[in-house]
Amino acid sequence: MKRKHEAPWSTGAWRKQLADVITDVGELLQILELQGGTPTGIPSALRRFPLRVPRAFVDRMRRGDPADPLLRQVLPILEEDRKVPGFTTDPVGELVSPPRDAVLQKYRGRALLMVTGTCAVHCRYCFRRHSPCADRETVARVFDAAIRRIAADPTIAEVILSGGDPLTLPDTELGVLAMRLAALPNVRRLRIHSRMPIVLPQRVDTRLTTWIGGLEVPAIVVVHVNHANEIDDDVRRALAALAATGAILLNQAVLLRGVNDTADVLSNLSQSLFDADVLPYYLHMLDAVEGAAHFRVPDEAAKNLYGELTARLPGYLVPKLVREVPGAPAKIGVDLWS
């Protein structure tokens, strides 16, 4: 049921904060009182995939702690330059079968619309860190073609707005696109995948909640939280405002070594999400993208963690442990791993 969906922040204030993200490693370390603000080693990967992190997210990091789980997700380290067998620039096969008119169809009945190549934060484990989409500010010029493609396929019942992060686009552009998609006869649901409500919660302003609440089809907002420390009071307010629109809120996390690879951390994450109106949805195994091997959790350890989690929590708080396999008709659950 839709409730009053006034957001706690003034319309458009997030644009200024998005333009003022931290892009310098030395500045990040200085703010966090680490190493005297001087990097000990800069990976060459930083040239291809630069540091990018909103100050609102940095504010949640522990000062003086190089092992902080939020810092670990965004700090470039020399390990990224290490070549590891099996880790590639295209771990899920998107470069082999690239989007057409910005539309990517991996699974039956769903279409992924790559609305932008921009993100508010550069997560060092991102499976698209080598993707050409990272070079695009927006693909707005092909939105008309994308809508025609989706409208012409009656099997597409759900459209997923992705990128990059769709919520880096202004609402004057994104809201119109969403409403056009929602008006298509074959589209029954609209899904928005975004890390913005977490790393820059001020993005959830009245303009955003108004168009989400006014959609003609159910909306699902899938956020990305890996650790409970990412959820502060501002994030809770943002998520509450999204929930008040009537949207279903789900979370996708990635299992990351040194970030959330213990049963205590994962259990706390699920319960913190539920307290913030979000249901745990997926816990992804790391995609084997070049530069992220240091985040890998071995399969056997992941299975053991999943077993501990199912023993601790009610079923609705246990995310599905899955991995993505290029060409598979769906994500592969832990029960089907070889």
pLDDT tens digits, residue range 90-124? 888 777 667 788 898 888 999 999 999 899 999 99
> What pLDDT, on the 0 to 100 scale, is given for residue 20?
97
Q: Is the peptide bond before 64 cis (omega within 30 degrees of 0)?
A: no
Token readout for 17 is 């904060």
Contact 108, 155 (CB under 8 A): yes
Q: Are strands 110-114 and 158-162 parallel, antiparallel or unpaired?
A: parallel
What is the helix, strand, coil percentage profile of the chain, to 5? Answer: 40, 15, 45
Confidence at residue 133, expressed as pLDDT on a 0 to 100 scale: 55
Reading across the β-sheet that carries 248-254, which strands appear in turn? 103-104, 110-114, 158-162, 189-193, 219-223, 248-254, 279-284, 320-323, 332-333
Residues of the chain with pLDDT below 70 are 1-6, 37-40, 96-97, 132-141, 337-338
The reported pLDDT for the residue numbered 316 is 97
Decide: 54 and 121 in contact? Cβ < 8 Å.
yes
CA separation for the pair 281, 222 (Å, rounded): 9
Q: Which two tokens stand for residue 25?
A: 């490693």
| Residue 218 near residue 158 (C-beta atoms within 8 A) | no
For CA atoms 252, 255, 260, 263, the dihedral sign is positive
Say if CB 166 and CB 192 are below 8 A apart. yes
pLDDT of residue 89: 86
Q: What is the structure's pLDDT at 135?
A: 45
Over the stretch 311-330, which tens digit does the pLDDT of each residue have?
999 999 999 999 988 888 88
Neighbours of 2 (CB within 10 A): 12
pLDDT score recorded for residue 55:
98
- Rounded to a whole number of angstroms, the distance between the first and last alpha carbons of the chain is 42
Q: Can you give the pTM of this predicted structure? A: 0.93
Burial 10-36 (b: 16+ CB within 10 A, else e): eeeebeebbeebbeebeebbeebebee
Contact 161, 191 (CB under 8 A): yes
CA distance 251 to 245: 17
Question: Which pLDDT score is estimated for 217?
Answer: 98
Measured CA distances, 68 to 31, 64, 71, 105, 266 (Å): 14, 9, 5, 37, 16
Please give the pLDDT value at position 106: 85
| The pLDDT value given to residue 6 | 61
